[in-house]
Structure formats: C-alpha cells, structure tokens
Amino acid sequence: MSTPALESGIMEKVNSWLSGNYDDATKQAIQTLLDNNDANELTDAFYKDLEFGTGGLRGIMGAGSNRVNKYTLGAATQGFSNALLKTYPGQEISVVIAHDSRNNSDTFAKMTADVFSANGIKVYFFEGLRPTPELSYAIRELGAKGGVMLTASHNPKEYNGYKAYGADGGQLVPPHDQNVINEVRQIASIDDIKFQGNPDLIESIGKAIDDKYMNTLLDLSISQDAIKRQSDLKIVFSPIHGTGGVLVPPTLEKFGFNNIQVVEEQMVLDGNFPTVIYPNPEEEEALTMALNKAKAIDADLVMATDPDADRVGIAVKNNKGEFVLVNGNQAASLLINYVLTAWEKAGKLDGNQYVVKTVVTSYLIDKMAASKNVDCYNTLTGFKWIGEVMTRLEGEKTFIAGGEESYGYLVGEHARDKDAVVSCAMIAEMAAFHKDNGSSLYDALIDIYLEYGFYKEKLIAITKKGKSGAEEIQTMMNKFRTNPPAVIAGSKVVTIKDYKSAESKNVVDGTIEKMDLPSSNVLQFFTEDGSIISARPSGTEPKIKFYCSVNEPLANRGEFEAVEAKLDDKLNQVMMDLGVA
C-alpha cells in the first residue's frame, strides 16, 4: 500500500516510534494506520506532544506523541520526578497516586507509581479507585511533595489523562508546571524513562485516609440540627460509573442523611460508561436515570458526580413540583450564599474572609460577597487557579468557599481542588436547611435574585477536532481580537479584557490598564447594560467556549417567569450577534 502524505516533521515522528524501543503492540497500531493510509489519524496522533492545560495532561488514548499511553504518561512522570528531585535536593520525597474508573486508569496508575519509585521517590498508592479531591487532601495530610490523579474527568470514554499536583495539594501552576514541562522536553528518548519500579517504595493506602477525610468534611457542617429534623430527606445519587460511589453515600450518611437512593445501574464501575453518551453531569442526558428514579419516588434532591468526583450536577423541584436542572453558576451561587449567610449569622465575618471564583463564573457571586464585606477573587479558568489563591493567602485570610461555572465547588480548606464529595454533602445539608424552614432550593435561588438581581448565564461550546480544528479556533480568537464587536444585543461594549496580553481596555476613553494575572487565551467583553461575554478555547477539549452573562432586576416572585424569558431572549441575541448561536 502507498504511504500516506504527511508533513515531514510528522513522518519523522512516526518513524522514530516505529524504530524506537516501543512495545510491539504500539508499533503494530501505528503500522496499521500506515497500511490503511489514514493520514488524518496519524496527523492528529503525532502533530504535537501532549501539553499541560487547565486540567493537566489529557487526550485520546492510543499510540502517538499526542495520545495518552504509557510512553507519554511515562515521560510526564519521569519529567515530574526530575523536577521534584531538583526542587527538593537531598530530601525524602513522597507523592500520592490515585485513579478513577476509566479504561486503563489502573494500569496507568501502576506504571506512574513504578516510574516515581524507580527514581527513588516514595509513593502512597490508593488501594482502589478514589475521588480526585481525596487525592488533594491526602497530599496535604501525608506531607507529600506532589501527586498524580489518573483521570480525564468528564470527557468521553476514549479519553484519559494525568492531573499533576504540587505539595499544596493543588494542580501545578507556574512556575512549577513549566518546570515539569521543561524536564519532559529534555527527555531525549523513552530509554530515559525508568519504568522498572521499586516495590519497597510503594505503600498502599485506603480506609484510614478515607475516614480522616470524611471526618474533616463533617467538621464543615453548619446545620446539624436541621439535618436531624430532615434526616429522611429523599436524595437520589449517581456516580455515573465513577469514584463518587466510593465516598459520597458514606459521607452523606456521616452527615446524618439516612434516605439515600442510589442509581444502581450507574454504581457499576465501568470505563465505557454504558448508560450515558458521556459522563458529564453538566448534561441533562447524563442525569436521565437519576431523574427518572427521582420522579418515581418523589425525591427532594438529585445529585450526580463525574467519574473522578470533582464535579456535581444537581436537580431540584420547582414550585410546580417538576424537576429542573440547576446549572453550575446557580449551584455555586446557592452554595456560597448559604455558607456566607451562616458565617454572617454566627458573627464570624470580620472582613478577613474571602471567596474565589473564575472570571467566567457568575458575577452574582461578587455582588453577594461585597454585600457582606467579603473579598471575592477572580481567577483564570481552571480550579488550579482557585487553589493557587488559597495557597497564597493561607495563614493571612480565611477561605470560605469557591466555585466555577463548570460544576466544581469547594467548601473548606482541606483540599486545593474542586470537591464533589463535600459539595454533595453541603448541597444536601442546604436542601435540608431550607426544607426545615418551609422553603426549597428553588425558592432560595429566587430569594437571591430578589435581593441581588436576576443573573442568567449561557454557555455555547463549539467542537473543532484535530490539527485543523485547533487552527480554526485560533482564527476565531484572532478575529475577535482584531475586529471586536462594538455593540452586543443592543448595548455598547465599554470594556474589553484580553487575558493573553493581560490588558483591560476602556473602549470609551481608550485607556488601558494592566491586569495582575498570568497570560491566558481569553477575551471578555463588558457591555453598558452589565452583560459580560467571554471567549475561550478549552484547555482540555477540542472546543472553543463562549460564556455569556446577563442580568435584570427582579421586583417580585410573580415576575420571575417574565424576567427569565426576557433574559433568555437576550442571551440568544448575544450569541447571534457573536455569530455562534
């Protein structure tokens, strides 16, 4: 058969893998693509090396430099090992490793442990799958210098990934992430990777850490009296075939809930995620089975976590008794308002507390925090930046809660990553509290809108796969930079923030201010009427995302549906004006 037409650099990489010290199965997979003249697949597999994004290393599993496999993850681990050895010379270094239920996650976790131990680094290895937030907690609890979670979060089944963590329990941020990347780039061949592990340096951990972690979460409970009175709150929970099934139900029980109904079909650990299109609790489809069960038993609350249990999607009953999904901005607002209000009532707010959110998360949270004299920090997208703020302010100010619109929240300082386990517990507690007071989470959300204004957000994600897709996304971002919109949905653009150049431009007078944030390929447009539109290529998926936030006053409950319809129309107009509807 003829050889497919590939760019010279790509063909050079292909040949290096065919002639290098790779295993036979890897070489055969590449040879099959050559024999089938599959130029597109070969290009996508080899046109670049996997890089750290907002969620670490993540990609499609398979053979190639741009694929997740033992060699790309092995190189990452060798580079991480080299960086740790240089950062902590002469010290005893340990790391923690965990994995989720994805196909190959356990194999990749074992390989990662072998490489670390082969480099003389002690490994605390979770005996079975565990949630990402527990890994973050364990790093801090065990005094480790780093950690790795093998997961691709909520991505489709063909994906896997590698989240790298530092000594603070947070995902790597500058300069540490770049230090690891630099070390990886210095690995000339896979022969530089030490795959032969040292079993003496690998220690199994499990139940003892589980118990400490859950007890730490219980200490965060605010309304134990309400839970006691509402202990039979009907909760439907699904881990969507992932790690949430290990710790969420026992944590809810520890908090005092005794009527937890799990979706049995989705308690089965299966990396093919057979009951969903893909395991993303942001999507209604992924909650279908949980919602059906909730309707059948007339539940109070529905919760579902993604495979590594750092995100949670929820559904509640509206005032017509119908289950409605609560999006990430709404859940973050509810949860942060609940904790802020509790702290205020307890007299614990003295101006030294703070909350954190990302720049694409609802600015309703900024407004709530300001009303209580609590600082609200805005970070780049990715919870690692929230963790970075927490680490920087540790010992100086008190963290209350944090959240991002992509369904990730954190209450308490036990971790440096989003935590669906504590989120599930606190959301259930919040539901119990409001039910105990004759209300509901749905009513609580309307109460927030009555006090602070009705904020509504919409996300449009456009998928552009492969090398050509990445180029299309870059072209779109360049167009918005060189020819930004002057008017969006009938309102003038007054401020443009370009996080790539770290500049905020006042469109009215032309003045420019520097922003104190790392460079990131994000654009934001602020309009005269308070709308905020953000454009951002995803760091973990082949997508460009457009986030839009609009708001209107809500005078009374009777106007809720009319104002919501008005905001929906405005959101649609915004997306049409941007050409992405």
Question: Which of 151, 144, 115, 54 minimizes the C-alpha distance to 541?
Answer: 54
Residue 580 has pLDDT above 90, yes or no: no
In the 8-state DSSP scheme, what is residue 144?
-
Backbone angles phi, psi at 552, to 5 degrees: -145, 155
Please give the share of the chain, as a percent, with pLDDT higher than 70: 98
CA distance 114 to 101: 20
Rounded mean pLDDT, 41-48: 92
- At 419-467, the pLDDT tens digits run 999 999 999 999 999 999 999 999 999 999 999 999 999 999 999 888 8
Please tell me the predicted confidence (pLDDT) of residue 123: 98
Residue 181 has pLDDT above 90, yes or no: no
Indicate whether 212 belongs to any domain: no
Asked whether residue 295 falls in the same domain as residue 426, the answer is: yes
Rounded mean pLDDT, 270-287: 96
Q: Is residue 55 very low, low, confident or very high in pLDDT (cuts 50, 70, 90)? A: low
Rounded mean pLDDT, 238-248: 98
Active-site position among 81, 101, 153, 333: 153
Residue 167 has pLDDT above 90, yes or no: yes
Domain end call among 431, 452, 473: 452
* Least confident stretch, 44-53, 76-85, 164-173, 240-249: 44-53
CATH value at residue 534: 3.30.310
Please tell me the predicted confidence (pLDDT) of residue 3: 62
Indicate whether 32 belongs to any domain: no
Please tell me the predicted confidence (pLDDT) of residue 9: 86
Asked whether residue 287 falls in the same domain as residue 373, the answer is: yes
Residue 403 in contact with residue 357, Cβ under 8 Å?
yes
Query: Which residues touch 471 (CB under 8 Å, ≥6 apart)?
Result: none
Residue 322 has pLDDT above 60, yes or no: yes
Residue 358 has pLDDT above 50, yes or no: yes
Asked whether residue 178 falls in the same domain as residue 125, the answer is: yes
Residue 54 has pLDDT above 60, yes or no: no
Distances in Å between the Cα of 432 and the Cα atoms of 234, 309, 482 are 10, 22, 51
Indicate whether 7 belongs to any domain: no
298 Rama class: left (phi>0) / alpha (psi -120 to 50) / beta: left
Query: Which residues touch 23 (CB under 8 Å, ≥6 apart)?
Result: none
CA 293 to centroid of chain Cα atoms: 27
CA distance 219 to 239: 24
Indicate whether 334 belongs to any domain: yes
Asked whether residue 105 falls in the same domain as residue 231, the answer is: no
Residue 539 has pLDDT above 80, yes or no: no
Asked whether residue 111 falls in the same domain as residue 258, the answer is: no
Please tell me the predicted confidence (pLDDT) of residue 188: 84
Please tell me the predicted confidence (pLDDT) of residue 470: 87
Residue 52 has pLDDT above 90, yes or no: no
Asked whether residue 459 falls in the same domain as residue 435, the answer is: no
Indicate whether 77 belongs to any domain: yes
Angle at 350 between CA 349 and CA 352, to 5 degrees: 100
CA distance 116 to 181: 16
153 is catalytic: yes
Asked whether residue 232 falls in the same domain as residue 305, the answer is: yes
Spell out the SS3 assignment of 145-203.
Answer: CEEEEECCCCCCCCEEEEEEECCCCEECCCCHHHHHHHHHHCCCCHHHCCCCCCHHHEE
Please tell me the predicted confidence (pLDDT) of residue 77: 95
Asked whether residue 398 falls in the same domain as residue 269, the answer is: yes
- Tokens encoding 215: 């007890």
In the chain, how many domains are there?
Answer: 3
CA-based torsion, 564, 569, 574, 575: positive or negative: positive
CATH value at residue 103: 3.40.120.10
Residue 304 in contact with residue 287, Cβ under 8 Å?
yes
Domain end call among 412, 434, 452: 452
Q: Is 91 exposed, middle or buried (0-12, 13-18, 19+ CB in 10 A)?
A: exposed
Asked whether residue 416 falls in the same domain as residue 554, the answer is: no
Query: Which residues touch 210 (CB under 8 Å, ≥6 apart)?
Result: 130, 134, 246, 247
Please give the share of the chain, as a percent, with pLDDT higher than 90: 89
Domain end call among 452, 484, 517: 452
Please tell me the predicted confidence (pLDDT) of residue 185: 85
Mean pLDDT in the chain?
95
Asked whether residue 383 falls in the same domain as residue 324, the answer is: yes
Indicate whether 74 belongs to any domain: yes
Distances in Å between the Cα of 58 and the Cα atoms of 150, 161, 226, 571 are 10, 4, 42, 31
> By residue range, what is the domain housing residue 316?
226-452
CA distance 352 to 214: 27
Please tell me the predicted confidence (pLDDT) of residue 338: 98
Asked whether residue 197 falls in the same domain as residue 119, the answer is: yes
Indicate whether 483 belongs to any domain: yes
Please tell me the predicted confidence (pLDDT) of residue 1: 45
Indicate whether 8 belongs to any domain: no
Rounded mean pLDDT, 221-240: 98
Rounded mean pLDDT, 11-15: 93
Asked whether residue 280 falls in the same domain as residue 413, the answer is: yes
CA distance 399 to 374: 10
- At 456-489, the pLDDT tens digits run 999 999 998 888 888 899 999 999 999 999 999 9
